[in-house]
């Protein structure tokens, strides 16, 4: 059995045989213990299984977004009660980044509720990238769609990562978002890659998608010419006032199966246990780490939603014997 899994992963991860829903589903449907044993084996072959990379996410511009992402409290289409804010001042971003560094973060992610940055926003974003980078933190931006010129501008500023989630399968995408297309997302990922910025792209479970939709999302990511260096797997946080406020919970075992599959399909990528951890038990998170997740966001909030917070996270990580990935080891993520 292991030989089959190894052969499938090596054939596909090596790019010879692109992943298909069929080959990925075969792995997903393995007995749970076989699946997480295989994914853990691949995890150990690529990473220190006892370290977790810590990132911090800051909303540098909140609310009033013209896009209609069904899950998002920042969409202007949703009565989420959120007060929109202007772009944060550079000094405030830097002081927040310093706090994140003191809490052990090695990557600082800055998100803006935009469809895409306007030309007038670019100089401020460039200054933020340079200032946060000068603190010795890896920089990440998630600002919506980018033109090739915008990607080049941010690459020239030294931006390390760009987050742009495809969120779900191409089939299910129109059920979640109608103000842009799945191809729009893939286009920005290509612009980011061409500019030489590392890619962070993943998606969300719990929006009413099927298991095949979740697997198809991973097939799209794993079959990119260069798979994302970071793959965030979010569990939907049902935001009041959003179109998905009443979306059902995700079965924890199905969630862990997707973490394991992401690890097997993209063995060298960082698999990020992202939104929804406040609703996950310690045991569920422990199984996600075993299955191959090796990055989390720290802090009490994740944009406009709750996050476990540093006390709960440090208690969990120390009880599991997991240590924060140092900047030196960072290069592997």
Centre a 10 Å sphere on the Cβ of residue 294 and count the other Cβ atoms it contains.
25
Please report where in the chains the tokens 């973060």 appear, as a residue: 105
Q: Give the residue with the Cβ less far from ligand SF4, 5 or 236.
A: 236
What residues numbered 231-250 form the site for ligand SF4, per CB under 6 A?
Answer: none
Contact pick of 117, 144, 202, 276 for ligand SF4 (by CB under 6 A): 144
Positive or negative, the Cα torsion across 273, 313, 305, 130?
negative
What residues numbered 191-210 form the site for ligand SAM, per CB under 6 A?
Answer: 204
C-beta separation of 159 from 131 below 8 A: no
Catalytic site residue from 38, 107, 109, 257: 109
CA 174/CA 168 separation, integer angstroms: 10
CA 155/CA 196 separation, integer angstroms: 7
301-302 and 305-306 strand pairing = antiparallel
218 binds ligand SAM (CB under 6 A): no
Contact pick of 237, 250, 288, 298 for ligand SAM (by CB under 6 A): 237
| Window of 70-78, 188-196, 236-244, 250-258 that interacts with ligand SF4 by CB under 6 A | 70-78
Binding mask 48-67 for ligand SF4 (x = CB under 6 A): -----------------x-x
Using the CB atoms, write b or e for 306-333: b if 16+ within 10 Å.
ebbeeeebbebbeeeebebbeeeeeeeb
Q: Could you tell me how many residues make up the chain? A: 333
Contact pick of 30, 36, 69, 197 for ligand SF4 (by CB under 6 A): 69
By annotation, the residues acting in catalysis are 65, 69, 72, 109, 140, 200, 272
Which residues make up the interface to ligand SF4 (CB under 6 A)? 65, 67, 69, 72, 74-75, 113, 144
Which residues make up the interface to ligand SAM (CB under 6 A)? 71-72, 111, 113, 142, 144, 163-165, 167, 204, 234, 236-237, 239, 275-276, 303, 305
């Amino acid at each position: 059995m292991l030989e089959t899994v190894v052969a499938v992963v090596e054939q596909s991860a090596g790019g010879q045989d692109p992943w298909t829903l069929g080959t990925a589903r075969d792995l997903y449907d393995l007995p749970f213990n076989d699946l997480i044993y295989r994914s853990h084996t691949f995890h150990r072959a690529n990473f220190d299984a006892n370290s977790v990379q810590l990132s911090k996410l800051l909303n540098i511009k909140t609310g009033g977004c013209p896009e209609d992402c069904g899950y998002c409290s920042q969409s202007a289409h949703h009565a989420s009660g959120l007060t929109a804010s202007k772009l944060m001042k550079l000094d405030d971003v830097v002081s927040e980044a310093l706090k994140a560094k003191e809490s052990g973060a090695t990557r600082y992610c800055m998100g803006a509720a935009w469809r895409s940055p306007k030309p007038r926003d670019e100089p401020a974003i460039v200054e933020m990238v340079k200032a946060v980078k000068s603190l010795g933190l890896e920089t990440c931006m998630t600002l919506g769609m980018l033109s090739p010129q915008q990607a080049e501008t941010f690459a020239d500023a030294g931006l390390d990562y760009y987050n742009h989630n495809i969120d779900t399968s191409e089939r299910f995408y129109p059920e979640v978002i109608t103000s842009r297309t799945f191809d729009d997302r893939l286009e920005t990922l290509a612009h980011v890659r061409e500019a030489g910025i590392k890619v962070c792209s993943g998606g969300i479970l719990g929006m009413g998608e099927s298991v095949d939709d979740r697997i198809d999302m991973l097939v799209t990511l794993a079959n990119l010419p260069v798979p994302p260096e970071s793959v965030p797997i979010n569990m939907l946080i049902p935001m009041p006032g959003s179109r998905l406020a009443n979306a059902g919970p995700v079965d924890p075992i199905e969630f862990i199966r997707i973490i394991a599959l992401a690890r097997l399909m993209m063995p060298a990528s960082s698999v990020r246990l992202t939104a929804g951890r406040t609703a996950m038990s310690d045991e569920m998170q422990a199984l996600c780490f075993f299955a191959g997740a090796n990055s989390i966001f720290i802090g009490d909030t994740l944009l406009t939603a709750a996050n476990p917070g540093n006390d709960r996270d440090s208690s969990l990580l120390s009880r599991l014997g997991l240590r924060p990935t140092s900047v030196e080891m960072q290069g592997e993520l």
